Amino acid sequence: MDDVYYTELAAAYARGMLPDEDGDEAALVEAGRAAGLKLHRFKRSAELPRVRAVIGMLHGLAPESLLDVGSGRGVFLWPLLDSFPALPVAAIDRDQTRIDHIEAVRRGGRAGLWARAMDGAAMEFGDNEFDAVTVLEVLEHVEDPLAVAREAVRVGRRFVIASAPSKADDNPEHIRLFDASSLSALFVEAGARRVSVEYVPGHMVCMASL
């Protein structure tokens, strides 16, 4: 099972959703399946090139705390928690249902995880509150990407990592397309001290130093 799922996280989710269940991780996952919980969200995605690239950057940068903006279904969040089990992580998303899923993982055993429904363009955090901020596959969705970038730079202390598609696709939720120049310019205007962009298959990953 470990080669298909983030088993520890799937078990934590099952424990958080089914507090009367007990047993080891395998038993909890089976109980979750029997109860109809959608555990497919915990299938491993670390091999996605953009996820692998960001996880690699974070290993080199060794953040002390991290805010993930727009965590969505957890395509990046679950690999992050798997790779950095001791890292304090805050996750925000505008979708309360997705936040509820993340909170279930916290209740099920990941005490260093915190999640709230929040707009990335108006974050309820203080300046420099997080060592690192990730904004992955978000900016192409929002009406005002500069507002999100400014907020990420404001609440970040050392760096922001952002990713976005590098070519047009048929996703109707993607309302804009960046290139390396426009993505860099966005974070420079947001107040980053230095910005670099690298390409992975189908995407760009931007590192903004603060």
* Residue 17, pLDDT score: 97
Q: What is the mean pLDDT of residues 125-136?
A: 98
Q: What is the mean pLDDT of residues 148-172?
A: 95
Q: pLDDT confidence of 145, banded at 50, 70, 90?
A: very high
Q: What is the mean pLDDT of residues 147-172?
A: 95
Cα distance between residue 36 and residue 84, in whole Å: 29
The candidate with the shortest Cα–Cα distance to 78, out of 208, 143, 165, 68, is 68
Q: What is the mean pLDDT of residues 134-157?
A: 97
- Burial (0-12, 13-18, 19+ Cβ within 10 Å), 139: buried
DSSP 46: T
* Residue 4, pLDDT score: 82
Q: pLDDT confidence of 5, banded at 50, 70, 90?
A: confident
Q: How are the residues of the chain apportioned to helix, strand and coil, as percentages rounded to the nearest 5?
A: 40, 20, 40
Dihedral in degrees, nearest 10, Cα atoms 33, 37, 39, 40? 100
The candidate with the shortest Cα–Cα distance to 91, out of 127, 64, 118, is 118
Backbone angles phi, psi at 55, to 5 degrees: -60, -40
Percentage of the residues of the chain whose pLDDT score is greater than 90? 92
Cα distance between residue 19 and residue 142, in whole Å: 36
pLDDT (tens digit, 9 = 90+) per residue, 111-129?
999 999 999 999 999 999 9
Domain ranges for the chain: 1-44, 45-209
At the fourth CATH level, which superfamily is domain 45-209?
Vaccinia Virus protein VP39 (3.40.50.150)
Please tell me the pTM assigned to this model. 0.95
* Residue 170, pLDDT score: 81
